[in-house]
Amino acid sequence: MKVPKILYPIIDVVATHLRPLAMMYVVLPLSFILRNVLAIHAFVYNTFLASPQLHQSRVDRVSACVKRRFELPPEKQKPMCTARAAWMNLSTRFATYKESSERIYVADLCDIISLDEKNMIVRAEPLVEVGTMTRWLQKRGYMLAVNLEIEEATLGGLAMAVGMSTYSHISGLYQENVVAYEVVLADGTFVRATRDNEYKDLWHALPWSHGSLALLVCLELKVIPTKPYVHVKYTPFHDQKKYCDYITEISLAKDPPDFVEASVFSEESAVVMEGRFVDITYDPLKWLQINHVGLWYKQWFWMHVKGFLSKSGPVNEYVPTLEYVFRHNRGIFWALRDQMGMIGNNVFFRYFFGWLSPPKVTFLKLPATPEIRVEMMCQRVYQDIVLPLRTLPEAINKASKLFGCWPILVYPSRVYDHGEGNRGIFPSPPKEDLVPGENYGMFYDLGVYGIPHAVRKKLPYKAVTNMREMEDYTSSVGGGPFLYADTFMSKEEFGKMFNLDLYDKVRVKYGAVGHFPELYDKIKPEIDYMAILDQENKTY
C-alpha cells in the first residue's frame, strides 16, 4: 500500500500548516477505524482461524521459497529480506533496500504456538505483536521478561534488532530472554539456535543483526509471573546528582523494584518511578489509590508524571498491570505531542475524543511524503541510546546541549559479557564496567524524542552534525544506539562502535554473504545525509 505521488503536495501543505487539525479530523478517526477493524480481525482470527498446528507447514513454505531462490543462477539471486512493507515497521527509515531485494513472505507467521508453564517459556511465530502476546499472557498470569511498551512492535523484529523494557535491570536485553531462535538460512536449511547448542555462535550473533544473517520463523521466549496490579512510587527530584544516584542505587539494589523508569524534565529535575507487582484485590483500603491510567480521558502518562514534580515527596499509586505496561500508549510516549500539539492532552479533547487515541504508529508512517521524511530526520530527534550507567549525568547534559528536547526517558538494563568468542554485535561491557562478581554491567536507555529546542525557537539546527557528536560520545563510552533510528556513522565508525567480529564470521560460516544484505547497508539512512552534512558545514 502506498500513497499516490500525486497527493504528496497536498499532504505536504497540510502537514506544514494544518498538522494538528489533520491529526484530529483525519488521522485519528481513520486510525481508530483501522485499529478496530484490525482488532475484530484479530479476534476472529484468534478464535476461529489461528492454526499453530500448521506452523511447520508455514516454515516449510519459507524454506522452500528460499531454496528455490538459492537454486537460481547467481546473477539472478537478489539479496533477501522480509516482505513486511517499509511503512509498517517501527523505524523512522523507509527501507528502500526492499525494492531491489527478494522479499520473502513471512506475514502469516503470526501465531502464538504454546506456553510451557513449567519452564516459563512461550513459543511463538515472529510476526506476533507485543500487544497480542501481552494480552494473551496476562490472562494466564504472565508477561514477557522483556515486555516493551509499544503494542505494535513484533516479537521477531525485537529479536532480530533489540528490545529493552523497564524490567531489563533484572532480565537484561530482550536477547538474553530468547531461549531459541528458529531460522531458515540462506540455502533454505532450518536451524534451531540456543545459548549452548551447536549453533550457539548464531544465538550470539543474531541480536542486532536486523535480518542480515537468516530469516526468523519461530522464537522461544522467557516469561515471568505477574500480579494484577503494579504499585508505583513516583519520587520527584530537583537536583541532578540526587536523581542520578537514586536511579543507580535502586537499579543495583539487592531487592530492586520490578520496574525502574525516570522521566527527566530538565538537567536538574526528574521523576523516578519504581514499580512492584502487588495483589490488592482483597485490600479495600488501597482501592482508593488505584489509578486506571489507560482510560481514554486520562492525561498522557508523561504529563501525569510531570505533575509529581511539584510534590514535596514520593507519591504512591496502584495501576492495573496491563494498563501499567501500556502506560505510554495514548501519547506514544511524547511523540504524539509533536504530531498534534498539546491539544491532544486538553481535558475537553480527552473526555470527548480521547477514545480515538492512540493512532497506530505505522499509520503515522503511511502518509509520509519524502518531504515529511526529511523533516523527521532534520527537525526531529527519535533516538534510544544504550549507555553505561556511570555516564548518566554527562549524557543527560550532552543531550540537553545537543537537542534540548524534554522529557528524556531513562531506564536501566543489564548488558551481559558472554566472554571471548561469544561477544555479539552490541559492545560488551569492559571489566571495569561489570557489576562486582557478575558478568553484566548496568547500562540504561536514554530516550530522546521530540522537536529540538533550536527548531522550536526557529534557530539554525544542525541535525546530522549534532547526532554525529552524540554518536562519537556514545562510541567513546562503549554504548550504542538502537538501530531503528537514524544514525549517521560511516561504515568504519559503525565498525568501531559495534563488535562485528563474531557477526562477520557467522555471516561467512552460515552462508549469508551475498544472500542477505550487510547490517550497515540495512540500517544506514536511505536519504543522502552526507549532502545534508555538507550543507550544515557550509552554514558556519
Ligand X SMILES: C=C(/C=C/[C@@H](C)[C@H]1CC[C@H]2C3=CC=C4C[C@@H](O)CC[C@]4(C)[C@H]3CC[C@]12C)C(C)C
Q: Which residue has the cell 509520509?
A: 368
Q: Is 300 in the site for ligand X (CB under 6 A)?
A: no
Residues 474 and 517: their CA atoms lie apart, in Å, by 25
Chain positions 223 to 282 lying near ligand X, rule: CB under 6 A, are none
Beta carbons of 78 and 101 less than 8 angstroms apart: yes
When binding is defined by CB under 6 A, the residue of 90, 113, 513, 533 that contacts ligand X is 90
| Choices 114-122, 156-164, 349-357, 397-405 (CB under 6 A): range interacting with ligand NDP | 156-164
CA–CA dist 152, 154 (Å, integer): 6
The minimum distance between CB 101 and ligand X, in angstroms, equals 20
Does position 384 interact with ligand X (CB under 6 A)? The reply is: yes
Residues 6+ positions from 317 with CB-CB distance below 8 Å:
231, 232, 234, 289, 290, 291
- 106 binding partner (options ligand NDP, ligand X, none; Cβ < 5 to 8 Å by kind): ligand NDP
φ/ψ (deg, to 5) at 192: -110, 115
Spell out the residues 6+ positions from residue 141 whose beta carbon is closer than 8 angstroms to its own: 225, 226
User: What is the x/- site pattern for ligand X, positions 50-89, by CB under 6 A?
Assistant: ----------------------------------------
Out of ligand NDP, ligand X, none, what residue 128 binds, judged by CB under 5 to 8 A for its kind, is none
DSSP per residue over 127-142, as a string? T-BHHHHHHHHHHTTE
Q: State in angstroms the smallest separation of the CB of 266 from ligand X.
A: 20
Q: Report which residue type is found at 226.
A: T
What is d(CA 55, CA 510) in angstroms, rounded to the nearest whole number?
A: 24
Residue corresponding to grid cell 562519537: 472
State in angstroms the smallest separation of the CB of 419 from ligand NDP.
24
Task: Please tell me the distance from the alpha carbon of residue 85 to that of residue 95, in angstroms, as a whole number.
Answer: 8
Q: Which of residues 384-403 bind ligand NDP (CB under 6 A)?
A: 384
Q: Which of 109, 127, 322, 364 binds ligand X (CB under 6 A)?
A: 364
DSSP assignment of 20-74, as one string?
HHHIIIIIHHHHHHHHHHHHHHHHHIIIII--GGGHHHHHHHHHHHHHHHHTS-G
Q: Which three cell numbers stand for residue 92?
A: 523512522
The stretch near ligand X (CB under 6 A) out of 3-11, 29-37, 189-197, 369-377 is 369-377
Q: Name the segment binding ligand X (CB under 6 A); options: 107-115, 182-190, 248-256, 328-336.
A: 328-336
Is the sign of the CA dihedral 186, 188, 192, 196 positive or negative?
A: negative
Judged by CB, which is closer to ligand X: 112, or 408?
408
Instruction: Compose the 117-156 pattern: x for residues touching ligand X by CB under 6 A, - for all others.
Output: ---------------------------------x------
Least Å from the CB of residue 486 to ligand X: 9
In the bound state with ligand NDP, the residue whose beta carbon lies nearer, of 265 and 484, is: 484
- Which grid coordinates are listed for 371? 518531504
Select the residue interacting with ligand X from 66, 173, 361, 483 (CB under 6 A).
Answer: 361
Between 82 and 101, how does the x/- string for binding to ligand NDP read (CB under 6 A)?
A: x-x----xxx---x------
Burial of 46 (0-12, 13-18, 19+ CB in 10 A): middle
- Shortest distance in whole angstroms from residue 527 CB to ligand X: 10
Give the number of C-alpha atoms closer than 13 A to the C-alpha of residue 56, restricted to the C-beta side. 1
The Cα 394–Cα 233 span in angstroms is 26
- What's the angle, vertex CA 355, arms to CA 26 and CA 264, rounded to 5? 95
Alpha helices in 271-332 (DSSP H): 284-287, 301-306, 321-325
Q: Applying CB under 6 A, what is the total number of residues that bind ligand X? A: 19
**Nearest residue (CB) to ligand X, 199 versus 449:** 449
Say whether residue 332 binds ligand X (CB under 6 A). yes
Q: Which of 126, 131, 172, 429 touches ligand NDP by CB under 6 A?
A: 126
Taking the C-alpha atoms of residue 271 and residue 283, their distance in angstroms, rounded to an integer, is 27
Nearer residue to ligand NDP within complex by CB, 15 or 216: 216
Footprint of ligand NDP (CB under 6 A) = 81-82, 84, 89-91, 95, 106, 126, 148, 150, 153-154, 156-158, 160-164, 210-211, 215-216, 384, 482, 484, 522
Residues of this chain that interact with ligand X (CB under 6 A) are 90-92, 150, 332-333, 335, 361, 364-365, 368, 372-373, 376, 382, 384, 447, 449, 484
